[in-house]
Structure 1
Amino acid sequence: MILKTDTRRLRGFTLVELVMVIALASVVAVMVSSVLSRPLEGFMAQSRRAELTDMAAIALNRMTRDIRLAVPNSLRVSDSDGDGYGDTLELLPIHEAGRYRANQLPNASGNIDLNSVRYDPPRCPPPPGTCQIEVLSPLDKPRVEESKWMVIYNIGAGGASAPQAGANVWAYGKPGVITPTGVGFGLEPAQPPENKQKLVLSGVQLDGFGFAYASPQHRFYLAKEVVGYKCVTEGGETSLRRASFSDLRAAGTYEYGNARWLVGSVSRCRINYKPGTNTRNALVTIELGVKKGGEEVVLLQQVHVDNAP
């Protein structure tokens, strides 16, 4: 018996039809990918730039906050790598502040005669006398006890490159605008008849110490640390770092190797400081660039500084 197949019921693709479908699908895929690739690349690039902008902005905002809280005329900028641009910013932040009253020295018995002469700028008696300065504004005792230096009328003479001893916080002198390192601070509560809080200064470094200048507004500042920012290059990568120090040193002598990172992948780090004049405030200009993944963002920040001591 011979079986016959009805060819009208058979269905399928020929090789030519299959090749045509594959070719058309490839063309459609290429067209779709070309249309979508640019928006996707733009989105990824924008995301990378936004991340870099946030990294640089956070670092600049931290620097701006410290600059605005600095003791007047305590900012200094130095160039450690010799490329002609500043890469190190150091300052003395205000820890506590207020107004003082011209002080009186104790007599031979250690007591203070309320009718005795008052000294402005304040001065300290020789040992064993106690150095006390009345304050006209309430202070926080724990913050006072944490402090390491007292500053009165720092005029910043000589600038950062060659500070003049006795007239600049970076060069101690006797008399001077800042107390020597190693002085301790305490606060006595208000007592009659003066009813004024008293700053109590202690330490052998105060033997005969006196402040160089009287503040016209009777302002004083207390500080507990030096804060520094520096762009450090290690292993081919540059990072902006922040550190704090407990002593006063010459510019370029602090060590930042173990300082805390603020931002890495720094491509540009330029800091410029223009001291103020009689007609304008001082100005700090910071140019910070961050580069990562083929993207680079450069931010420029300017901070006005009121250096009125």
Structure 2
Amino acid sequence: MAGGLRAMRPRGFTLVELVMVIVITGILAAVLTVFFRPSVDAYFDTGRRAGLTDMADTALRRMAQDIRRAVPNSIRSVSATCFQLVPTIAGGRYRMASDTVNDSGALPCTPSGTCSAPLDVAQTTTVFDVLSPLSITPAVGDWVVVDNQNAGDVYTGTNRAQITQVPSAPRSTDGQHRIRIGGTQFPQGYDGGRFVVVANAEQTVFYNCVGATLYRTVAGFGANQATVCAATTGAAVANNVAGCSFIYSPNQGATQQSGFVWMRLELSSAGESVALAHGVHVDNVP
């Protein structure tokens, strides 16, 4: 072929075509942003709200659990954002009188393998039998509390005694456990035969909001309330706290034996806020 074969040259984009592609891409990106950005933002906002709701709900449930297992009449409202209680780990009924059928010798006899051990509030007690099973066996150093009709009794120590030996098993007719305590005469005025056990490692618990954190602080019976509630120590139960309030009514209802705790917790993060409230009835019968 005359002139031979001529090689084909690749044809590129012109400047006008590049500009047109950039403009169209920008328009499409703007359109996509307008229509899809709200959905993306809503997705992340929903996730933040769900996280805040879960944290607030968990904190309220944690407080409600402690309130329900508190020593009767031990809840104290320190301030609008702080309250105190004495949590229990077990409880049951103690023997109130000697076993007139199975005890040997003259009654009352000295507690032994052949003699029961009643708890008599008219005299000092060092050992007593527990008639009911205990959900948790107390340890040496834990506290027995009887007849807490006044809020301050368990804190000042007028109705509690410390366990001195690991509970043992008495005769089958005497009950489930035999508990030895430091010599104590418990107050009279209540004959229900009930007692509760408080762990020595967790004598009293404060829930207090300090700044943006809700704390659960463990302290001793005689802890200074104002100092503890103003502190920032303890385990963080909830973060991002925007507001909290605790209201305790010790005498809710006609029987004057049922208290009520109202709790409100508001959490906020990145412009999202949730507020949950929860009420808990409190049995204040010792």
TM over 0.5: yes
Report if aligned partners of 1:141, 1:186 keep a CA contact under 8 Å in 2: no
Gaps spanning 5+ residues in structure 2: where?
Answer: 4-8, 99-103, 110-116
Q: Which residue matches 1:133? A: 128
Match among 223, 227, 246 for residue 271 of structure 1: 246
Report if aligned partners of 1:134, 1:198 keep a CA contact under 8 Å in 2: yes
Report if aligned partners of 1:124, 1:132 keep a CA contact under 8 Å in 2: no
Q: Which whole-Å CA distance do the structure 2 matches of 1:19 and 1:300 have between them?
A: 59
Mark the CA change 1:262 to 1:140 in structure 2 (over 3 Å): closer, same or farther. closer
The normalised TM-score by structure 2 is: 0.77
Q: Which whole-Å CA distance do the structure 2 matches of 1:259 and 1:227 have between them?
A: 10
The Cα offsets for residues 110-134 of structure 1, whole Å up to 9 and x where unpaired, read as x994247x98752443xxxx62223
Q: Which residue matches 1:260? A: 235
Q: Which residue matches 1:231? A: 209
Q: CA deviation at 1:199?
A: 2.3
Q: Which whole-Å CA distance do the structure 2 matches of 1:300 and 1:60 have between them?
A: 8
Amino acid of the residue matched to residue 87 of structure 1? T
Percent sequence identity over aligned pairs? 30
Q: CA deviation at 1:142?
A: 4.4
Mark the CA change 1:40 to 1:193 in structure 2 (over 3 Å): closer, same or farther. closer
Q: Which structure 1 residue ranges, 4+ long, deviate > 6 Å from structure 2?
A: 9-12
The Cα offsets for residues 119-161 of structure 1, whole Å up to 9 and x where unpaired, read as 8752443xxxx6222321134784253412x2223223xx5xx
Amino acid of the residue matched to residue 70 of structure 1? A
Greater displacement, 240-249 / 91-100: 240-249
Q: Which whole-Å CA distance do the structure 1 matches of 2:208 and 2:220 have between them?
A: 17
Matches within 5 A, 1:1-309: 15-79=15-79, 86-102=80-96, 113-115=106-108, 122-125=121-124, 131-139=126-134, 142-148=137-143, 150-156=144-150, 163=152, 168-173=153-158, 178-179=159-160, 184=164, 186-191=166-171, 194=174, 197-202=177-182, 206=184, 209-216=185-192, 218-224=193-199, 225-233=203-211, 238-249=212-223, 251-254=225-228, 256-275=231-250, 276-279=252-255, 281-309=258-286
Q: Which whole-Å CA distance do the structure 1 matches of 2:208 and 2:245 have between them?
A: 10
RMSD, aligned α-carbons: 3.3
Amino acid of the residue matched to residue 187 of structure 1? P
Gaps spanning 5+ residues in structure 1: where?
Answer: 4-8, 80-85, 105-110
Work out the number of aligned pairs and report it. 262
